[in-house]
């Protein structure tokens, strides 16, 4: 079973920042937070991951709370192509990825 | 470096036939994972393989389904005597080693199996 809780769906206006929350209150000290997304009918795409510190790459930023019980994925300038289902996943090194239901993000023109 | 290649992209089988789905991991990747996605549902883990070994098959149905990843060649997911309920998208992912903290899994574009 997935160890995370995410809102079922969210809307965001094109050009604005999309902030996707994730709760993982039972996360263990050796588990990382990963984010993937699945654009309609395509294979899942890796976005970003982190352990304790905030992370940023060319796609997004990941903000993890100090107690590590929740995190937020930030897409700084959302475009229509960011419409997808976003999955927040926690797992230990060497383990398989278990997908939950994710958040369906709609980018509004 | 080509990505994870899955073929065929679309496969139609009649009930009772066999379906063979192939997955070629990225170059240098020795770990393969298979997932199934039923229409309008989430991704379900099926099996995790390393070259010539099955590491975790906890998500595989007990009957009709099998998977292999030989020393040479692609990974194969085999479904015998397909039924309509097997209709789904099957995704393969690969990583250079166990899905570790410093490695992400790369997914293919999937094979869409339709059983008629």
Segment B63-116, tens digit of pLDDT: 999 999 999 999 999 999 999 999 999 999 998 876 554 567 889 999 999 999
Segment B28-43, tens digit of pLDDT: 888 999 999 998 888 9
Segment A85-104, tens digit of pLDDT: 999 998 876 678 888 889 99
Q: How far is C-alpha A100 from the chain's CA centre?
A: 11
CA dihedral B44, B49, B54, B59 (to 10 degrees): 0
Mean pLDDT of A14-40: 93
Sheet of B75-79, strands arranged across: B5-7, B19-24, B75-79, B65-68
pLDDT of residue B98: 60
Helix and strand numbers (H, E) in chain B are 0, 11
Report the residue of chain A nearest B98, measured CA to CA.
A94
Contact B42 A45 (CB under 8 A): no
pLDDT of residue B60: 96
Which residues have a Cβ under 8 Å from the Cβ of A45 and sit 6 or more positions away? Answer: A36, A37, A38, A39, B107
Residue A46: strand, helix, or coil: strand
> Could you tell me which residues of chain B have a Cβ less than 8 Å from any Cβ in chain A?
4, 33, 35, 42-45, 48, 56, 89, 91, 93, 97-102, 104-110
Helix/strand/coil percent split, chain A, to 5: 5, 50, 50
Segment A41-82, tens digit of pLDDT: 899 999 999 999 899 999 999 999 999 999 999 999 999 999
Nearest CA among B89, B88, B82 for reference residue B107: B89
Among B107, B108, B111, the residue to mutate for chain A (most A Cβ within 10 A): B107
Among B7, B36, B101, the residue to mutate for chain A (most A Cβ within 10 A): B101
pLDDT of residue B99: 55
């Amino acid at each position: 079973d997935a160890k995370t809780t995410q809102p079922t769906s969210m809307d965001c206006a094109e050009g604005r920042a999309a902030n996707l929350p994730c709760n993982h209150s039972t996360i263990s000290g050796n588990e990382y937070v990963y984010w993937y997304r699945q654009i309609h009918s395509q294979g899942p795409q890796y976005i970003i991951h982190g352990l304790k510190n905030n992370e940023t790459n060319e796609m997004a930023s990941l903000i993890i709370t100090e107690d590590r019980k929740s995190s937020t994925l930030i897409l700084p300038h959302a475009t229509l192509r960011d419409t997808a289902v976003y999955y927040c996943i926690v797992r230990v090194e060497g383990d398989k990825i278990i997908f939950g239901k994710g958040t369906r993000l709609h980018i509004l023109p | 470096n080509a990505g994870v290649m899955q073929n065929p992209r679309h496969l139609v089988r009649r009930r009772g036939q066999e379906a063979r789905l192939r997955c070629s991991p990225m170059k240098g990747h020795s770990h393969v994972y298979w997932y199934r996605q039923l229409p309008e549902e989430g991704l379900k883990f099926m099996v995790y393989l390393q070259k010539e070994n099955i590491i975790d098959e906890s998500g595989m149905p007990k009957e009709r389904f099998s998977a292999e990843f030989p020393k040479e060649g692609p990974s194969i997911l085999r479904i015998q005597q397909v039924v309509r309920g097997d209709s789904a998208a099957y995704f393969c992912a690969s990583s250079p080693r166990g899905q570790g903290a410093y490695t992400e899994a790369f997914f293919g574009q999937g094979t869409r199996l339709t059983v008629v």
